[in-house]
Amino acid sequence: MFKTIRSKILALIIGLMAVTSMTFIFITTKNYQTEISDQHYKLAKETLTSTIRVIDTEYNDLLSFEINAINNQRSIMEGVGTSILSKACLLYDLQKTGLLTEQLAKELFLKRLEEYRYNNNNYFFVYDFNLIGLSHPDKEMVGKKWYGFEDLKKRDALTLIREIIKTEEKVFTVFMWPRLEDMKQVKQIGLFLYCPHWKWIIGTAHDMHDIEKISLAKEKHTLSKLNNILGQVSLNKIGGVLIFDSHGKVIIHTSNLKNIDLNPAGITLNKSIQEHLEKASEDPDMHVEYRSINRSQGEMIKIAYVDYYKYMDWYVTAFVDKDESLRAGSAIAVRQSMIFLLISLIGIVLAFFICKKITLPLELLTKYARDLPEYDFTLKDNPLLGSIVSSNHGDEIKQLADSFAYMETRLGENFEELRKKTHELKLLNEHLIYAEEKERKVFAADLHDSVAQTLALSISKIKNIQEPGEPVNLEILAQIQGYLEQAVKEIRSLIYQLSPPVLDDFDIDIALGFLIEDSNEKYGADIKYINAIDNPVHLNKSYKIVLYRAVNELIINIIKHSGSKDAEIELSANENFILVRVQDTGVGFDLNKSTNNSFYGFGTYSISERIKNLGGNFELFSKPGKGTKILLSIPLLLENEL
């Protein structure tokens, strides 16, 4: 279907545009929805804070009004009460001068008190310390014991006043007291004064209903004001504000959403929603999610912040319609996506013309590549290549043409490298032949110097073991036995050197330990062995032999050439390699002056090539007078490679 480069590029661009568009639309929608939702949640939280602030301000105004009203009434009552008490004191003074008897003074005071009214029919009453009524507009209360008049804490108010007034002489309290017109007990603010001359308690009361009536009107005005203020907040476009009390009674509910049911004041919330929102008020900074039914009887998911205003016993909720918030983000994302799609279409049209412009020189270059063998793989003075290079199609086409020239150059370099490697392999083969011949000479010399000499000496002793007429010399027999035992030991040593059995029976770390111990004993050396391997390592036999022979050869070279018999060999491993460090304290040498004929020339070259042939690494460090350090590494094999 897509046979040409042009069609493939166009298909690729259109596919990329489509994938990019879908990805962009998906990510943009999600990002905008998340961003808009976060903004809406932030707005809800800010609205909650400002609503609490407004409620607090209005509550303080309402509280100030009630306090001022009560204080004004207290001032009136205190002024009138002081005047009444002064009249009692005046009559008492007349009693003291003898102008009036005590009985007459008290009767005059009580008579004037019964007729006295102030501030719209407020009156005074008197009782003694036995709580017996002495004066009251209702004659039925006179002469009886007064009890059952409770304060706001359900305590007997008159009894409590009697105890307090002995020291205070003036007490204000709120208590239940009979209203004059119907003698029904209602909440009233009372002032009680102490008349010490006659040990009377003089009291007056003012019905709190008047203050509460004005306060209730003020509260309704406050609610109306709050409703107007909250009805204008910007949150109403995407949510609203709900205020309810601890009984679930809706106080205020504002929102401009068409599909939301506004609960009118007085309606009770669903119990489960109420409990959920009340629990959420414990952490006003954390939003919660709850579900309600909208006008279309569908489910509406709301995100809300809730706070509790304890002075009014109100739960204030600022909520956002979650679906409305998501729709707002989606609408912005759709607009952005339309713009992106339009740009993508323009890009596809431009891509078509660009593809056409690119593929034309590629067609010319294809023709050039087909004709290249006819020009002996050279790009010089080729007329077709010249037309491509001199054209204005762009640098990339020219670079592609130059790549053919570079390829020809690299082919020549690779051929030269191959010839060099072949020469190195030839040298390595020569070195291996030389090494093999050297080992044979060493083995022959060892046989000649050890076993052959010992056996020859034994044969000579055997020939002279018994002369005619002479007895057998047991001492000579003992010498011959010693020579033969030494010969057997030397043969076993040679066999051990040719094929150490320790390689078959133990891991490489133990085999090297035996090798170093045997070398120290054999050559009188002091080579320290550090085995830093904690866990067993796995080497196949060929790798183990190469590493063992390399260390053995390095030990021999240290003994013969370093000028010192002190050395250190460390064996360690990591995840991929087994590592060997061989370091002596000998004379060292100059690496720049070493040749293949010296020890650290041919010897190290042979070891290096064998190690590298296994995929390992070989490094040599040395300075004159500073000793020599050699680092070997051989790769560890997996279980299935062993």
- Report CA dihedral (536, 538, 543, 547) to the nearest 10 degrees: -10
Q: Which residue's entry shows tokens 């040679």?
A: 494
E-strand ranges in 219-259 read 239-245, 250-255
- Give me 454's structure tokens: 């010992």
- Averaged pLDDT for residues 64-88: 88
Q: Can you tell me the distance from the alpha carbon of 497 to that of 513, in angstroms, rounded to the nearest whole number? A: 15
CA distance 532 to 580: 10
Tens digits of residue pLDDT in 451-501 = 667 776 677 667 666 565 566 666 777 777 776 777 776 676 666 666 677
pLDDT tens-digit series, residues 7-46: 666 677 777 767 776 676 666 666 666 777 788 888 888 8
pLDDT in the model for residue 496: 62
- CA-based diameter of the chain, in Å? 188
Q: Which of 619, 618, 638 is nearest to 546 (CA)?
A: 618
- The pLDDT score that the predictor gives to residue 265 is 65
For a pLDDT cut of 90, what percent of the chain falls above it? Answer: 17
Q: What is the pLDDT of residues 328-354, one digit of tens each?
A: 656 666 666 677 677 777 877 777 777
pLDDT of residue 545: 86
pLDDT band for position 620 (cuts 50, 70, 90): very high
How high is the pLDDT of residue 439? 64
Structure tokens given for 139: 């004659």
The pLDDT tens digits for 369-409 are 666 556 545 545 555 555 555 555 555 666 666 665 566 55
Per-residue pLDDT, 570: 94
How far is it, in rounded angstroms, from Cα 140 to Cα 122?
18
- The structure tokens listed for 300 are 């509406």
The pLDDT score that the predictor gives to residue 597 is 41
Per-residue pLDDT tens for 507-540? 888 888 988 998 898 888 999 999 998 887 878 8
Mean pLDDT of the chain: 78
Structural contact between residues 544 and 511, judged by C-beta atoms closer than 8 angstroms: yes
Give me Rg for the CA atoms of the chain: 58
User: Facing residues of 118 across strands?
Assistant: 122
pLDDT of amino acid 262: 66
| pLDDT tens profile 579-596 | 999 999 999 888 877 654
The pLDDT value given to residue 594: 61
Higher pLDDT, 108 or 5: 108
What is the C-alpha to C-alpha distance for residues 388 and 390, in angstroms, rounded to an integer?
Answer: 6
What DSSP string describes 510-560?
HHHHHHHHHHHHHHT-EEEEEE---S-----HHHHHHHHHHHHHHHHHHHH
Q: What is the pLDDT at residue 599?
A: 42
What are φ and ψ of residue 472, in 5° steps?
-70, 130
pLDDT greater than 70 at residue 307: yes
CA distance 269 to 319: 15
Kindly give the pairing relationship between strand 526-531 and strand 566-573: parallel
pLDDT higher at 85 or 439: 85
What's the pLDDT band for 194 if we cut at 50, 70, 90? Answer: very high
pLDDT for 638: 52
Yes or no: say if 404 and 366 are a contact pair by the CB < 8 Å rule.
no
Which residue stretches of 536-635 are H helix? Answer: 541-561, 604-613
What one-character-per-residue DSSP string does 370-422 give?
A: HHGGGGTT--TT-HHHHHHHHSSS-HHHHHHHHHHHHHHHHHHHHHHHHHHHH
pLDDT at 124: 93
Q: In terms of C-beta density within 10 A (0-12 exposed, 13-18 middle, 19 or more buried), how is residue 639 classed?
A: exposed
Distance, in Å, from the CA atom of 246 to the CA atom of 436, rounded to the nearest integer, reads 103
* pLDDT one-digit tens code per residue, 157-182: 999 999 898 888 789 999 998 888 88
Read off the pLDDT of residues 227-251 as tens digits, 9 standing for 90 and up.
Answer: 788 777 777 778 888 889 988 888 8
Tokens 């061989």 appear where?
A: 582
The pLDDT score that the predictor gives to residue 200 is 93
Helix or strand (DSSP H, E) at 585: none
Please check whether residue 585 is in contact with residue 569, taking contact to mean a CB–CB distance below 8 angstroms.
no
* Percent of the chain residues past pLDDT 70, beyond the cut: 71
- Residue 406 has a pLDDT of 63
Provide the 10 A C-beta neighbour count for residue 516: 21
Average pLDDT of the residues in 277-295: 85
Residue written as tokens 């998906």? 26
Could you tell me which of 166, 159, 173 has the C-alpha nearest to residue 199? 166
364 falls in which pLDDT band (50, 70, 90)?
low
Q: Provide CB contacts within 8 A for 566, sequence distance 6+.
A: 525, 526, 527, 584, 585
Q: What is the mean pLDDT of residues 208-230?
A: 78
pLDDT of residue 598: 46
Quote the crossing angle between the two packed helices 102-115 and 5-97, to the nearest 10°.
Answer: 140
Per DSSP, the three-state class of 563 is: coil
More confident residue, 195 or 639: 195
pLDDT at 115 over 70: yes
